[in-house]
Amino acid sequence: MTMNVVVFQLNGSDDDLITGAAPAQALDSVRQAWRQGQREQQIQSSDVTRVHSIWQPSRLDQVFLAETFPEAGHTYLFERPEGDDWTDALEHARRVMAEAEGVDLRERGQETIVRAERDGEWLPVLHSTSAPLPFSASLPLVEGKLYVGFAKVATMPNGRVGMSHLTRSRFEAMSEEEFLELAGEFSDNLLRGLTFKVFPDEELGTMATIERDGPCAGSAIMLDDFHEKAASQVGEDRLIVGLVSPDHIFIAGAGSGRAKQIREAVLTSPDTGSDMVPCLLLVDADGMDMIAERPR
């Protein structure tokens, strides 16, 4: 019961539900659960007609609910304790859930993770510091701004994408040899089906996109030879790279007319279903830096 499972009902249908989970004691656990649910399905907050959580939302989450789902009903099972001592509240919830059919809710909330762990392939997954994954392992791509984590990723029977993230504790327990083996696996998986498409324009310059037969095409930026390959496609060394979503990446020369178009695509991106905030990168042979991020 240390996790707050949150169910988002869509369009008033009990058969159309999105489930997310976050640490119960987190002040923004409902917000975290919403982001997790959006990773599985591209939905709008206006589609949500009811939000039901195991634990009463904090004051911070109450503001989030009122602003994000102004027309939706809000319900919960257990009251949030005052202060930092959750001992009695957790014990009460465990007893009640052990005796009630509501335990099925928690099991359903774990189904996506179980399926991803069983059927998924390891892939690198991008996330921003503004959308942190508190218990997941990650490494910096742009220190303090953009990170890459690791997850088993699978398509669920309903067509949504499910993930089971590599935890920080599991990562820290790995030997160097074990991590290098994992790194080789997720790199090979990412490269499978990864292709460049090039769009030349005499006036604006060349733009390239990277596509993948599956999710996480944007994670190509973490590959060792990303700059070399991308530069060869657009014919310039200094690159503007737009991560419009984790699955959509646009590349052009930093001095080309395409750069302005890519910036606009990033700043107006409609993507809200991932832990990565759309961003604009400057990439050259010396590394990468973030020069813009979509307003939140």
Of the listed ranges 97-111, 137-151, 269-283, the one predicted with least confidence: 97-111
pLDDT greater than 70 at residue 262: yes
Phi, psi angle pair for 204, to nearest 5°: -95, -20
**pTM to 2 decimals?**
0.63
Tens of pLDDT, residues 109-124: 456 666 677 778 999 9
Exposed e or buried b for every residue in 256-286, given b needs 16+ CB within 10 A? bebbebbbebbbebebbbbbbbbbbbbbeee
Comparing CA positions, the residue from 7, 9, 2 lying closest to residue 20 is 7
The single-letter code of the amino acid at 181 is E
- Looking at residue 112, its pLDDT comes to 64
What does 96-125 look like in DSSP terms, one character per residue? HHHHSTTHHHHHHHHHHHHHHHHH-EEEEE
Distance CA 256, CA 266 (A): 16
pLDDT greater than 70 at residue 190: yes
Q: What is the mean pLDDT of residues 190-209?
A: 93
More confident: 108 or 286? 286
Pairing label, strands 138-142, 146-155: antiparallel
* Strand intervals (E) in 11-145: 13-23, 48-55, 73-78, 121-128, 138-142
- Looking at residue 102, its pLDDT comes to 43
Please report which helix (H) or strand (E) contains residue 168, including its range.
helix 168-173
Distance CA 182, CA 293 (A): 30
Distance CA 240, CA 238 (A): 7
pLDDT greater than 50 at residue 272: yes
